[in-house]
Every structure is written in C-alpha cells, then in structure tokens.
Amino acid sequence: MTDPASEDRKDTMVESAAGQAQTPADAKRGPAVATRERRQGAANPSGETPYLVVEDLTVKFPTADGLVSAVNGLSYSVPLGRTLAIVGESGSGKSVSSMAVMGLHDPKRTKITGSIRLGGDEIVGLPENELMKVRGDAVAMVFQDPQSSLHPLYTVGNQIVEAYRVHHQVSKDVAKKRALEMLDLVGIPNPQRRFSQYPHEFSGGMRQRAMIAMGLVNDPKLVIADEPTTALDVTVQAQILDLLNNLQKEFGSAIVLITHDLGVVAEMADDVLVMYAGRCVEYGTAEDVLARPRMPYTWGLLESIPTVSAANERLRPIKGLPPSLLNLPTGCSFNPRCPYKDRVKGERCTTDLPELLPVDGAGAHTSRCHLHDKASIYEAEVAPRLG
C-alpha cells in the first residue's frame, strides 16, 4: 500500500531470487561468472571471501502427514577464521540445516534443494562415497551429547586414530602419535594414559574435549558445533568455549555454532543468524543482531532472558508456541505471536511473507519484518526493558 514493491512480496521465494538477480551483463559473461556473482550475492556480513556458502537451502522431509519443510530458503556464508552462530528454538531448523552441510541426511528420505559450497565445491547431490571424503576431513562436527556420540566399546584413542586413518594413508603408529598430539592440544592431561581409556572413564567435559580432538584431527576448514556446551556445567562450558576460540585462532577454521543460548552467542560469534520456523528471520554481525536487533522475534528472545536490573519484575515471554512446520501460518510465520503486527498497515503480516531485507536500506544486516520503524520501536520500547 505504502510500498510499491509490496506486490512482489507475495512470492514466498523472493529472497532466493534476490540473491541470484542477473543483470543482462551477467548473462553475457556466461555461467562461470554468474556463479561468482551469485557467491557475492550471499556474501557474509564481514565482506570477506566465504569458505562455506549456503544458498537458498531447502530441506524437506516427507512424513505421513505431508511434506515438512524443515528449512526454507536459507542462505548464509562463513569465511575462514570467523564464527557464525545459528540461533533458534527447537524445531526452527538450525540443526537440520547444519546436518545438510555435513551431508548427513538420508537422501531417500530427504529432499534437499539449493546449494551448499565448500571452498567453491558443491555438496548438494554428491554421492555418498564422495561425501565420505569431505565429511570428517574438510568439515568436522562436534555434537551436543559427547556421551552418545562416542562409541562406548572402543577406546577414545582408537576412535581418534580411526578418524585420522580414514583420511590419511598412514601407519597406526603415526596415527597414534597424531592422536596423542590432539589429546594434548585440547587440554586432556596425561594423554598417554587417556589414549587407552574408554569414554565412560572420561568426565563430561573431558569427553567433549575428546570429541573436539577427534573433530580437529584432520585439520578441518569448517567445524560445525551443534550445541557443544549445552550438556555441560557453566565452569566446564567456559573451558570448552575458550578451547574452541583458541583452536580457531590457531587453525583459522570457520565455525558454525548452533546454540539457543544468547550468552554463548555473545561470547563466541562474529556473525549471528536467527532462525524461526525453518527460515532466517535476522542475519548480521553479532553486534548488529544483539545490540541493534531489528526483528520482533529477536527482541522477544532477548527479553525472555532474566536481567539484573529487572530482577523483581515479570519476565516478558513471547506468547504462544512455535508453529507446527506442517501447518505454517500464512504471511510471516511469527505473526500469531508478534505483539507488533497491529502496527503494520492492513493485513500484510498475515498475508505476505516479508522478504529478508537490509534493515537500513543497504548493508549486510538483514531482517524479515514488515514493520517500518523497527529502529525507533527498538530504541524507544524494547531497549529500555533490556536494561
């Protein structure tokens, strides 16, 4: 109504089109150049050349109740040496999207479209034997629960040796030396003795260190850490986060950190991507997203955390529940829970899916919301409540 572009927004996949918009000049230069243009389209907030580029990723699972779109049109990128945190509630698609990057979805039960490129090489659609070469070598994953992701019947040392020998043609002795080096590097005391112990002989924090040692044994360029500290105590969590930070400095790898803890995000992340109901709703540098958020869902997350100044006041939770992925609301997925939707003229929030647009008209900080005066609403109403 006020915005002439609003007509276009009825297309639910606009954000992908925006990334790939080809000028006539592009078409003339041929496909190779077009690819490079596209990569720039998905440039990350830092502006550096990304190592991991995810573009218009959609992951769908057929279920008895219909096709579930767990991830819908997700695009992001991570350069080497930077950490991207993906934040969201359970079911928002943050783990599913990262599993796609690892190629961990069963191709028979999953429909993946879009593009995932590692250093320029496409992963989507690769056959299993090709994926095996990537997995654990260029990309490593650290899982949430170190108890269930280590094999209980093999010694920790053996598991690390195996991870190394899958990708390196070396003797067991050489691999053992490498494993001991890694155990030492992640701060496990007495690696010689620990090498031949079983996972149950390790404490939770030590197990997570062993997992990290195993993940990093092949010098991966990209580490996906899926809630790496959620199962750990605060003091141990602090140790593990320090460890990840130091290792990143040393090896210069890219990290994708999946978490629901905004405190962890603030400590670890360079960039932040907020997911809701399978879509990216806000994306930018950590400072942008946490200190100048421009999406009511992000505001709600920040307001849900108890603060010092408001110790005796009521918390302001986001009302309602996340929607079922089988039955997403029309328009903006967040609209049934959004306290600000009345401020958007007409019914746009319930009819049009907002595009992921730059918050200040340009720049790398994007959000998906129809509100016009997001900045002033945040500064006037939300920020004071955050203390």
Partner 1 sequence: MSQTVRPIDEPASQNEPLLQVRDLKMHFPIKEAAGLGRTKKVVQAVDGVSFGLKAGESLGLVGESGCGKSTTGRMITRLLTPTAGQILFKGTDIAQLKERDLRPFRRELQIVFQDPYSSLNPRQTVSNIISTPLRVHNLVKKGKELDRVQELLERVGLNPEHHNRYPNEFSGGQRQRIGIARALAVEPEVIIADEPVSALDVSIQAQVMNLLEDLRRDLGIAFVFIAHDLGVVRHFCDQVAVMYLGKIVEQGPREQIYGAPQHPYTQALLSAAPDLGTIRGVPPKERIRLVGDVPSPIDPPSGCRFRTRCWKAEDICATHEPPLEPKPQSTPGHAAACHFAEPKIDLTAASA
Residue ranges that bind partner 1, judged by CB under 8 A: 89-90, 203-206, 233-239, 241-242, 260-264, 266-267, 286-287, 290-291, 300-308, 311, 314-319, 321-322, 386
Relative orientation angle of helices 204-216 and 172-185, to the nearest 10 degrees: 130
Q: Which is nearer to partner 1, 51 or 334 (by Cβ)? A: 334
Nearer to partner 1, 19 or 199 (CB): 199
For residue 341, how many other CB atoms are within 10 A of its CB? 20
Minimum Å gap between C-beta 94 and partner 1 is: 12
Q: Shortest gap between Cβ of 189 and partner 1 (angstroms)?
A: 8
The runs of H, that is alpha helices, within 23-79 are 24-29, 31-41
List the structure tokens of 286: 């950590």
Helix (H) / strand (E) element for 77: namely strand 66-79
Strands 222-226 and 254-259: parallel
Closest CA to 203 of 158, 256, 166, 239: 239
Task: Provide the 3-class DSSP secondary structure of residue 368.
Answer: coil
Nearer of residues 234 and 362 to partner 1, judged by Cβ: 234
At closest approach, how far in Å is the CB of 46 from partner 1?
16
Residue whose CB is less far from partner 1, 116 or 206: 206
Q: Among residues 135 and 209, whose Cβ is nearest to partner 1?
A: 209
Using CB atoms within 10 A of its CB, is residue 137 exposed (0-12), middle (13-18) or buried (19+)?
A: middle
| For partner 1, the closer CB: 112 or 241 | 241
- Are the C-beta atoms of residues 318 and 301 closer than 8 Å to each other? yes
Cβ 87 to partner 1 shortest distance, Å: 9
Nearest distance from C-beta of residue 248 to partner 1, angstroms: 17
Identify which of residues 214 and 241 has a Cβ nearer to partner 1 in the complex: 241
204-216 and 234-251 helices cross at what angle (nearest 10)?
A: 10
CB of 109 to partner 1, least distance (A): 22
Strand segments (E) across 194-323: 222-226, 254-259, 271-276, 279-285
Nearest distance from residue 38's CB to partner 1, in Å? 31
